[in-house]
Structure 1
Amino acid sequence: MSATGPAQPFGTPYLYRNWRYLELQFRGGVAQTRMLRWAPDWLQVGYTRTMLAALLLRPRPARIGIVGLGGGAQAKFCHRHLRHSRIEVVEYDPGVLALRDAFKVPADDARLAVELGDGAAWLRERGGRYDLLLVDAYDVDGIPPALSAVAFHRDCAAALAPGGVMASNLYATDARAHLGRMRRVFGPRLKTLQETGVDNRVVFAWRDPLAAMPDPEAALRALPWLARLQLAAPMRRLAAALAGSPL
């Protein structure tokens, strides 16, 4: 692989390419996003599929909020496969946003809006707005303190519509402390899945007690077949993890 352009300062987002995929990196050798060049809408990185298993708990979200665009994998998936959903994305790093076209993120339209801004401040202005909230924001140093504080998680909970669910990617952070702060807000309405072979955990949290145990097969049937192919395994894994949890 070779980086596009000259060597970049440590922490600056840049591209790596080979014949199969394109990567967004902040430090050498660690891919933050990977896109298959012949299937740009495919969720290539495992934790992104796990995060979207949150559709098990809210199969037809009318409005989706995403904190952290990155290479746009989840925004592209939602734009392609969740045709009934409005998707709103905030990205803090202008260098990441500048790579939007390289990762084939669609232009803003009636269903997609991407803006540059502070994710914590952005979320505070969106009370009761989202059926599905995806938080996948980190930089070269990991998850910023403002996005791991109890106050931020309170704002996440407040941004959820009735019955809303969030999924958060924990990477390069003190997972135990981070989960403790989330539990102060969501209590028992929280479930964690560890990704195999990588340092990622996906945390699911939901606003209201579940009326019944979710059915992964029913949730999968509501999706187009290419989306089902990607989300079947993580949805079933989440359903199994929830089976022993309080509703």
Structure 2
Amino acid sequence: MNNSHASFDAYMKFFAGSRGDGAPTVLETQHSLSLHFDPLATQSFMSRRDPDRLVLGYTRTMMGFLLLQPAPVRISMIGLGGGSLAKYCYRHLVDSKVVAVEIDPAVIALRDRFHIPPDDERFEVICTDGAEYVKEVDARPDVILVDGFVAHGMPAQLGSADFYAACHARLSDNGVLVANFVENDPDIPYYLQDVRQLFGKSVSIALAEESCNYTLFAWKGATRFPSRETLLERANALASIHPLNLRSAARRLKQGERLASDFAFRQNWAVGDTSKSNGH
């Protein structure tokens, strides 16, 4: 059987066996592993040949925080999934402590299959509610990455004004908040409003690389983001260290800055009604 037939058979078996109950499941082919909560949505993707490579474009865009915080001492991740971001940061940011917070023990139980490293002095996985963790932990991370999803989408507590306020308070003085949103989330304009109230003009939101997801950047370090030219210079300087398309991330960050400051953004968004569905 050739590779294409083997992969097709793996997909068919996966779809046929899907329980549809939102439990995390793994699709395995000869060349990859992917994590799913339902058959039509991919939560994480891993190349067998290079398990630490960031395959999905939105994960590469989220690493754009390096343009603002190139040498973080501590990184907090809300949502582990298949560990793509966690593995990348652990491998390439050797002076950083990485803490991944995951609410679902069934997801954590898959860590060996996705080559997520064991806990050590630089890496830790904690099973708890990420929103509560940000409020209660004493450490002050330089970066908070929010990529927490369950079967029905992003949990409401990870899109609340209280959560963003806790992130802002917890971040170091030069800290960066990065969040991943699916494009059809009708509450994105409201998340944006809450974040802008806290971070001011240092907020950006734009489509991620090769993805329909949106990436939010919010920087606590200054009243405005660096210029496009400065960000591109930083991307060029980091290119030899990080196998990422940081030039693309730099352009998206600046484009998203303009979008975030446009008051027409909310009116142009396809929001179903005028009330915030997550209770704010």
TM-score computed with the length of structure 2 as normaliser: 0.79
Residue identity opposite 1:216 in structure 2: L
Correspondent of 2:190 among 174, 177, 182:
177
In 1, Cα distance between the equivalents of 2:154 and 2:233?
Answer: 34
Which of 136, 149, 153 does residue 142 from structure 1 map onto?
Answer: 153
Change (3 A) 1:114 1:5: farther
Shift of 1:182: 2.0
Task: Please point out which of 184, 188, 209 is paired with 2:201.
Answer: 188
Cα drift, residue 202 of structure 1: 0.2
Residue 234 of structure 1 is matched in structure 2 by: 248
Give deviations 1:40-65, integer Å, cap 9, x for gaps: 00001110000011110111111111
> 2:64 aligns to what?
53
* Most deviating of 210-219 and 189-198: 210-219
The DSSP-based 3-state class of the residue aligned with 2:80 is coil
1:18–1:167 Cα change, 3 Å: same
Looking at secondary structure, tell me which structure has more strand per residue: 1
Using the TM superposition, give the Cα deviation of residue 3 of structure 1 relative to its aligned residue in structure 2, in angstroms: 3.5
Q: Could you say which residue in structure 2 is the equivalent of 1:97? A: 108
Cα contact 1:68–1:89 (8 A) shared by 2: yes
Of structures 1 and 2, the larger Rg is shown by 2
Letter in 2 for 1:160: L
Which position in structure 1 is the counterpart of 2:272?
A: none
For residues 1-247 of structure 1, the aligned pairs below 5 Å read 1=11, 2-3=13-14, 7-126=18-137, 129-171=140-182, 173-174=185-186, 175-195=188-208, 198-209=211-222, 210=224, 212-213=226-227, 214-222=230-238, 225=241, 227=242, 229-238=243-252, 240-241=254-255
Residues in 2 aligned to 1:34 and 1:45: alpha-carbon distance in whole angstroms: 7
- Measured at CA, do residues 106 and 160 of structure 1 come closer, stay the same or move farther in structure 2, by a change above 3 Å? same
- Greater than 4 Å deviation, 4+ residue runs: 4-7, 242-246
Distance 1:84 1:21 in 2: 29
**Deviation by residue 1:128-177 (Cα, 9 ceiling, x = unmatched):** 61111101011111111111110000011111101111110012522222
Unmatched segments (≥5 aa) in structure 1: none
Contact 1:128 1:161 in 2 (8 A): no
Residues 4 and 15, structure 1, Cα contact 8 Å, conserved in 2: no
Please identify, of 175-184 and 8-17, the stretch whose mean Cα deviation from structure 2 is larger. 175-184
Any conservation in 2 of the 1:192–1:204 contact (CA below 8 Å)? yes
Tell me, what secondary structure is at the counterpart of 1:180?
Answer: helix
**Runs of 5+ consecutive residues of structure 2 not aligned to the other structure:** 1-10, 262-280
**Local SS of the residue matching 2:52:** coil
Q: Aligned-residue CA RMSD in angstroms?
A: 2.5
CA distance in 2, matches of 1:173, 1:47: 16
CA distance in 2 between counterparts of 1:122 and 1:87 reads 14
Secondary structure of 1:192's aligned partner: strand
Note closer, same or farther for the CA distance 1:98–1:3 as it changes in structure 2 (3 Å cut): farther
Residues 1:139 and 1:239: Cα distance change in structure 2 (over 3 Å): closer
1:12·1:26 contact (CA, 8 Å) conserved in 2?
yes
- TM-score with structure 1 length normalisation? 0.89
Give, in whole Å, the separation in 2 of the partners of 1:235 and 1:120.
26
Look up the equivalent residue of 2:199 and give its one-letter code: F
Inter-CA distance 60–99: structure 2 relative to 1 (3 Å threshold):
same
1:240 Cα deviation from its structure 2 partner: 4.2
Q: Distance in 2 between matches of 1:10 and 1:104?
A: 25
